[in-house]
Amino acid sequence: MIIIHATFHVRQENRDLFQTESVPLITGSRMESGNIRYTLYEDPSDRNSFILVEEWKDEKAVQRHRQSAQVTAFMARADLLFDRPTAISCYSARKLPSE
């Protein structure tokens, strides 16, 4: 399993636009083959900071996702939406057996 954390810091004046633009990104990504989870969280201490937590079956699913129409469209608006570069961390994980 591949886990991705993408941290966004949104321009205050475009916060509503970010939330609107994120809906098709999230909806489309959740429907992709190999997606396990795709959830956007708001930082309660900074209303313009968000983290997108993604879980994917494998690297092939991640590569398809990065080339998807919804990711391409969303990232094309990055300069308008964000006031600093997006921080992305990727992790490889395996599910442990239950006790």
Q: What is the pLDDT of residues 72-92, one digit of tens each?
A: 999 999 999 999 999 999 999
Which residues share a beta bridge with 10? 82
**Residue 78 pLDDT:** 93
**Residue 98 pLDDT:** 82
Distances (CA, A) of 20 to 23, 68, 92: 6, 18, 30
* Phi, psi of 73, deg, nearest 5: -65, -45
Q: Among the residues of the chain, which ranges form H helices?
A: 15-30, 59-66, 69-75, 78-81
**Residue 67 pLDDT:** 96
Checking DSSP bridges between strand 87-92 and strand 35-43, what pairing results, if any? unpaired
What whole-number percentage of the chain has pLDDT above 90?
94
Q: What is the pLDDT of residues 23-33, one digit of tens each?
A: 999 999 999 99
> DSSP secondary-structure letter at 99?
-
**Residue 13 pLDDT:** 97
> DSSP secondary-structure letter at 3?
E
Rounded to whole angstroms, how far apart are CA atoms 54 and 4?
A: 5
Q: What is the pLDDT of residues 23-63, one digit of tens each?
A: 999 999 999 999 999 999 999 999 999 999 999 999 999 99
